[in-house]
Amino acid sequence: MATSGHTTKAPQSAADEGLAADVRAPLDAAITELRTGARAWSLLSLGQRRTLMQRLRVSTGAVAAEWVDTAATSKGLAPGHPLRGEEWLSGPYAALVALDAYADTLGALAAGRSPIEKARLGTAPGGRTVVHTSPLTATDRLLLSGYSTEVWLQPGVTAAEARRTAGLGQREPAASGGVGLVLGAGNITSIPYLDVLYELVAFNRVSILKVNPTQDAMVPIFERALAPLIEPGFLRIVRGGGDVGAYLTQHPSISHVHITGSEATFRAIVWGTGGAATRRRREGRPLLKAPISAELGGVSPIIVVPGSWSRADLRFQAEHIVTMRLHNSGHNCIAGQVVLISADWPQRREFLHELRTAYDRAPSRPVWYPHSQSRLDAARASYPDAAWCGGGTRALVETTETDAADLETTEYFAPVLGVVTLPGTGQEFLDAAVHHANDRLTGTLGANVLIDPVTQAALGDGVEHAIAELRYGTVALNAWTAFGFLTPTATWGAYPGGTLEHAPSGMGVVHNAFLLDGVERTVVRGPFRPFPRSVSSMIGGRALSQGSVLPKPPWFVTSRTGAAVCEGFTRFRIDGDWAKMAVTLMKAFGA
């Protein structure tokens, strides 16, 4: 890293064209200030860094309500809208639990302990080491009853090695990672916040954060929430479009780039555009000189394993799938897009009826993300027989595997849900669905599997082997992979193997509050049934699936009390008031 105290001026390049000197100057100045901040960070002890996380917790809690109101309003959710709860969980809640987890890790390292010294370790198919990453506290067991996460490490990483290497950059806190560029996501408000934290804690890298223009209204809130990082020069936040982003990616003082966005944007950053980009790729000469990590989305499958389901099961799992698609109006990199269902399941028609009903009745909301309407128009053109639900704002496409090309290769990033029928039942169907997801769907970010307890018990180890075979960075069993995003001690990112030439879902991971090395994937497990029906999963005192003492999850788009419960969960993370939490839990049972 350069150490000069003078502003470094980036060389003139194609990225500079159209970027006026009065725009470049403050960007250069911000990077110079960050270079000083990088040196200051390298001098902080682990204990001081832990204290900084606690200060961030206070400043973030102080703006939580304004954060949610600004985010919800920018997405067209008026006060009182039932889906405002999404902004509590995917905004300040996600930030607060991450800060607590990073503080715990820094505290362990400061005391000379491994961050996973107290974590339970196990094994998975192929001899993989498994780190059980949640729940870790009694509070987690109550608020998120029945849900758990575990991180599977890459084959060959032993338990002893996992304990020894956990800590990443904090094992050498004085080694500076320089100044990084974070190109923030435009859909979920906690993403840029969390990406900046991970760069700092995992790699000792201070950041210049360029927010996506869709989140410009959030900048004043980010500035107050992240003031403990901004004041000492560990963070600078800037606005701007693609021209500003292009200038920053080519700046000589940027040591690393992290982006959450589209694969097209990633390719433009790495290789450029037009004929010159084609030549660079052919010759192996990337335009980008700094290393890059990325989270780029993809087409996420929902594998529905046939079994004997009650009518309540059919309805609950239909609402579960609808939530996977309609959360944030479908503007999610992890939104479920393709339901893989058995043609030989006797309950297939009944389930599809429940799915169509839930998809149509989910609360109305704007389709707000830029260019979403053109994506919906493309779906209408590709699938003229699609059912249009929710007042014509969401498409449900039922098709066969031979006619599903667009659904399986195009991330719509809009409320388009496909249903693809495959043959078989039992293990035969599950294996076929896994291969279909691996070979036909674009991306490797997340896959979801729904299976009833009796069928899961009958298949035995076959389910675990299917999870191992799925080439996805997060696999959720009877849960949505977004739960892995929300859990700070889980990891979030593409399945390993992405390259500059081919990275459909990106490269690297984020969150990862235990700072684990050698990560392969996160596995999320949830209850097939909510309380009280979850009791039926206990047969002869033996749990056939994850039990739960909670009713319908508050993040379901069909939850009547979701907004109040999600707000209550977040406020509890801020103040720890159990009396108020008791009221929130009573509201949860009214869902």
Instruction: For residue range 33-81, list pLDDT tens digits in order.
Output: 999 999 999 999 999 999 999 999 999 999 999 999 999 999 999 999 9
Given a cut of 60, is residue 11 above it in pLDDT? no
pLDDT band at 589 (very low <50, low <70, confident <90, very high): confident
> Residue 353: helix, strand or coil by DSSP?
helix
Instruction: Evaluate if residue 545 carries a pLDDT over 80.
Output: no
The ranges of the chain annotated as CATH 3.40.605.10 are 32-63+171-295
Beta-carbon contacts of residue 319 (< 8 Å; ≥ 6 apart): 358, 552, 556, 557, 558
Cβ distance 331 to 369 under 8 Å? yes
Candidates 411, 415, 387, 263; CA nearest to 328 is 415
Residue 539 pLDDT > 50, yes or no? Answer: no
pLDDT of 537 > 90? The answer is no
Instruction: Specify whether the CB–CB gap between 569 and 562 falls below 8 A.
Output: no
DSSP H helices in 43-137: 46-62, 64-74, 85-88, 94-110
Residue 544 predicted with pLDDT over 60: no
pLDDT at 142: 87
Q: Which two tokens stand for residue 526?
A: 């949830």
- 93 pLDDT more than 60: yes
Tokens 């406020």 sit on residue:
571
pLDDT at 31 > cutoff 70: yes
Quick one: pLDDT band at residue 538, thresholds 50, 70, 90?
Answer: low
Q: Could you give the percent of the chain with pLDDT greater than 70?
A: 95
Q: The tokens of 104 are what?
A: 């715990």
CA distance 92 to 499: 32
- What mean pLDDT, rounded, does the chain reach? 93
What is the rounded distance in angstroms from the CA atom of residue 346 to the CA atom of residue 285?
55
Instruction: Look up the pTM and report it.
Output: 0.94
Residue 91 CB-density burial (10 A; 0-12 exposed, 13-18 middle, 19+ buried) = buried
pLDDT at residue 4 greater than cutoff 50: no
Residue 400 has pLDDT above 90, yes or no: no
32-63+171-295: CATH topology: Aldehyde Dehydrogenase; Chain A, domain 1 (3.40.605)
- The answer to whether the CB of 565 falls within 8 A of the CB of 93 is no
Model confidence at 8: pLDDT above 50: no
- As a CATH number, domain 300-530 is 3.40.309.10
Task: Report whether pLDDT(14) > 50.
Answer: no
What are 453-480's pLDDT values in tens digits?
Answer: 999 999 999 999 999 999 999 999 999 9
Q: What residues are paired with 129 via a beta bridge?
A: 123
Q: CB–CB of 38/178 below 8 Å? A: yes
Would you say 332 and 296 are in contact if contact means Cβ atoms under 8 Å apart?
no
User: What three-state secondary structure class fits 398?
Assistant: strand
Q: Are 473 and 444 in contact (CB under 8 A)?
A: yes
551 pLDDT more than 90? no
Distance between CA atoms of 376 and 382, rounded to whole angstroms?
Answer: 10
193 contacts 260 by C-beta, under 8 angstroms: no
Distance CA 219, CA 27 (A): 16
Query: What pLDDT, on the 0 to 100 scale, is given for residue 185?
Result: 96
Q: Are 75 and 136 in contact (CB under 8 A)?
A: no
User: In Å, how far are 9, 122, 255, 262, 274 from 102, measured between CA atoms?
Assistant: 35, 23, 23, 28, 42
Mean pLDDT of 10-16: 45
Beta-strand runs (E) in 253-371: 256-260, 292-295, 300-304, 336-342
Residue 319 contacts residue 558 (beta carbons within 8 Å): yes
**CB distance 211 to 237 below 8 Å:** yes
The CB-based long-range contact list for 54-60 (8 Å cut-off, 24+ gap) reads: 54/99, 54/103, 55/228, 56/99, 56/225, 56/226, 56/228, 56/229, 57/96, 57/99, 57/100, 57/103, 59/224, 59/225, 59/226, 59/227, 59/228, 60/92, 60/95, 60/96, 60/99, 60/225, 60/226
Distance of CA 89 to the CA centre of its chain: 12
User: Minimum mean pLDDT among 82-86, 246-250, 299-303, 400-404: which range?
Assistant: 400-404
* DSSP 3-state of 515: coil
pLDDT score recorded for residue 18? 63
Alpha-carbon distance of 500 to 281, in angstroms, equals 9
Can you tell me the mean pLDDT for 548-570?
92
Distance in angstroms (rounded) separating the CA atoms of residues 203 and 443: 26
